[in-house]
Amino acid sequence: MSNIPQDVSRRRFLTFAGVGALSLGAFALAGCSIGGGSGAGGTTTIRFAWWGGAERQKAYLAGMTLFSKQNSDVTIEPEFGDYTAYQERMTTQMAARDVPDVFWIPSPAVLTYRDAKIYRPLEDVGTLDLSAFSDAELDLFRIDGELNTLPKSMFSPVLRYNQTFMDEDGVALPETLTWDSLAEFLTDYSKNNAAGRKGTTYGAYHDMPFESFLRQRGEDLWSKDGRLAASEDGVAAWIDWWEQLRKAGATTSISEQDGIEPGWSDTGAKVLATFANSNHIVDEAAAFPDYEFRQRDVPALADAAPGYHFTYFSRFAMYAGIDDDRVDAAGALMSYNLNSIDLLKLVGLSAGAPPSLALLDEYEPSATADEQKVIATTREIAAMEQRPRYEAPAGSGSWRTVMIRELEGVTLGDTSVSQAASNFVSAVSSSVGN
């Protein structure tokens, strides 16, 4: 459930100022510190690790510079990379017990990192200001009753569409959007628009809409006790929905989109709509400035189970092995990430909305037009009934790879939908010890 726009996660993997992924470690080790200077002169040095593309790196470096100006006794050593390189480096650092003091947590790794015991409990950190959150909200953030991670941002699955194309073609999405009505609309659009556009990309790999689809059926992707909760029937229904669209010519072909995971730069001007995370519109709309993009809640089954909506919290944490004399400085940095309007104005909403709705209120007047759409979605979903949602268990990190492999088999005609669903459930269940 990566919080990276499609092109960034799949193709660009860029780093600040053009530094390639293989150079990231050297960049960090070269002592490119922000602040008072490597712990000298009474300052405390905090290593801070995050992921993203070039623009995010640049924005966060500016934010860390501002933090060090406001906290002259703290020096920040940034460590960053693309999403894949970040995870690989964290695995190496965990093995060496050399984890950054404050770090972002990839979505498949929340419970894996917990089991590796690299989270420090947070409730005794005096410099960590949690006053923006109610007790009920803090309870949502706990893992097994312990507050050892915090949300750095939040987002939800959406259907994003090109309003410019809608206007040109004289069409509009159904007001009440079900999976059936969306499929019919996309199929009709693909057959009838004069420009030869397709309704959408083939997007069965999209993880968050898949999870929403399961929850609408009364299922979950993961169970509370760390097992795969999706049934073969649920997985098959999801794959079949996409297969019907693909066979009807309502999606770009696998060759047109260069594989199961389409690049946005390749397909953004070819399709009317696509599934995405609510924050992706910030970066991806900018890739096509001549078009206006809008977004709305994902379709719902006609008999959708109550409470299926969910807000995904992207988390960060403090390292369990941090020296006691650095805890207060690390706590101040985490507070800055949680509460600072100055930081938010620098980094914007490309990584998601802040978990504090009060901070979102403060930021809203300065938000861009596309960020306003993120805010509207965030408020809409936050107001919905939401039943509990569970993090991906340890060992589940490859589940998306398994899904893509099975989708490739189906689209090539080598695997039936039912067999692909059975293969997926079997492989992922084995990986998490079901």
Give the residue with greater pLDDT, 20 vs 127: 127
Residues 6 or more apart in contact with residue 32 via CB below 8 angstroms = 77, 78
> What is the average pLDDT score of the chain?
91
Tens digit of each residue's pLDDT (9 = 90 or more) over 102-148: 999 998 899 999 999 999 999 999 999 999 999 999 998 999 899 99
Tens digit of each residue's pLDDT (9 = 90 or more) over 308-319: 999 999 999 999
Residue 76: beta bridge partners? 34, 46
Q: Is residue 156 within 8 Å of residue 377, measured between CB atoms?
A: yes
d(CA 73, CA 65): 13
What pLDDT sits at residue 127?
97
**DSSP 3-state assignment of 425?**
helix
| Count of beta carbons in the 10 Å neighbourhood of residue 304 | 18
Residues 6 or more apart in contact with residue 101 via CB below 8 angstroms = 46, 47, 48, 318, 319, 322, 326, 330
**The 44-51 sheet, strands edge to edge:** 74-81, 44-51, 102-104, 312-318, 150-155
Please check the confidence at residue 5 and state whether its pLDDT lies above 70: no
Please name the residue ranges forming H helices in 45-178: 54-70, 83-95, 110-115, 135-141, 163-169
d(CA 75, CA 68): 6
Q: With 0-12 CB in 10 A as exposed, 13-18 as middle and 19+ as buried, what is 97?
A: exposed
Please check the confidence at residue 378 and state whether its pLDDT lies above 70: yes
Tokens 């190496």 sit at which residue?
Answer: 92
Token pair for residue 36?
């008072």
Q: Is residue 362 within 8 Å of residue 341, measured between CB atoms?
A: yes
Please check the confidence at residue 20 and state whether its pLDDT lies above 80: no
Cα torsion through 194, 196, 202, 206, rounded to 10: -60
Q: Is residue 4 within 8 Å of residue 86, measured between CB atoms?
A: no
E strands, 105-187, where? Answer: 150-155, 157-162
Q: Are strands 102-104 and 44-51 parallel, antiparallel or unpaired?
A: parallel
Q: Is residue 251 within 8 Å of residue 243, measured between CB atoms?
A: no
Q: What is the rounded average pLDDT of the residues 317-333? A: 97
What pLDDT sits at residue 8?
39
Question: What's the whole-model pTM score?
Answer: 0.89
What pLDDT sits at residue 144?
87
Q: What is the rounded average pLDDT of the residues 157-169? A: 98
Q: Is residue 175 within 8 Å of residue 305, measured between CB atoms?
A: no
Token pair for residue 417?
């939908």
Of 244, 246, 205, 213, the C-alpha closest to 231 is 213
Token pair for residue 286?
């900018």
DSSP annotation of 185: H
d(CA 430, CA 434): 6
d(CA 84, CA 94): 16
DSSP annotation of 8: I
Chain centroid to CA 94: 22
Residues 6 or more apart in contact with residue 360 via CB below 8 angstroms = 353, 354, 375, 378, 379
Tens digit of each residue's pLDDT (9 = 90 or more) over 185-240: 999 999 999 999 999 999 999 999 999 999 999 999 999 999 999 999 999 999 99
What pLDDT sits at residue 21?
31
Of 287, 238, 270, the C-alpha closest to 6 is 287
Q: Which domains does the chain possess?
A: 6-154+312-381 (3.40.190.10), 157-308+398-431 (3.40.190.10)
What pLDDT sits at residue 42?
57
What pLDDT sits at residue 10?
36
Task: Name the pLDDT band for 43 (thresholds 50, 70, 90).
Answer: confident
| Percent of the residues in the chain that have a pLDDT greater than 90, as a whole number | 86
Residue 163 CB-half CA count within 13 A: 9
What pLDDT sits at residue 367?
97
